[in-house]
Amino acid sequence: MRTLIILTLLAVLVMAATCYESHESMESHEYLHPFINRQRANDFIQADTRLEAISRERMRKRIKSPQERQREICEDYYPCEQYAFHHGYAAAYRHYFGRRRTK
């Protein structure tokens, strides 16, 4: 019975030591309000630079070099892609699509 009381007291002491709430954690503003609103979360990003970056990205997507277009065409056709792994995309495009016949 005596060992049971000692183990109970020891368990209470261990629990008190590990679950202690310090004042430093309570002083933090995050303790009461752990989440912030979207406006405060995005304050560090300037709105005009975001819009400018989006427009630049759209322009980059719209205007592709001929090599990029040829590479995409070649990637969509499996034999051309396999040929490109050995000989390069320019040679693969010329091999499969360079001599197009028109009626």
H or E stretch covering 29: none
**Res. 92: pLDDT tops 70:** yes
Q: What is the pTM of this model?
A: 0.39
Distance of CA 30 to the CA centre of its chain: 25
Domain coordinates of the chain in residue numbers?
65-102
Q: Which residue has the higher pLDDT, 93 or 64?
A: 93
The CA distance from 98 to 31, in Å, is: 66
Instruction: Classify residue 43 by its DSSP letter.
Output: T
pLDDT tens per residue, range 16-34: 777 766 666 555 556 566 6
pLDDT at residue number 6: 94
Helices (H), 1-103: 2-18, 23-27, 38-41, 47-62, 66-76, 78-87, 89-97
Q: Supply 1's token pair.
A: 């019975």
pLDDT tens per residue, range 30-72: 656 667 776 666 666 666 666 677 777 777 667 778 888 889 8
Start-to-end Cα distance in the chain = 102
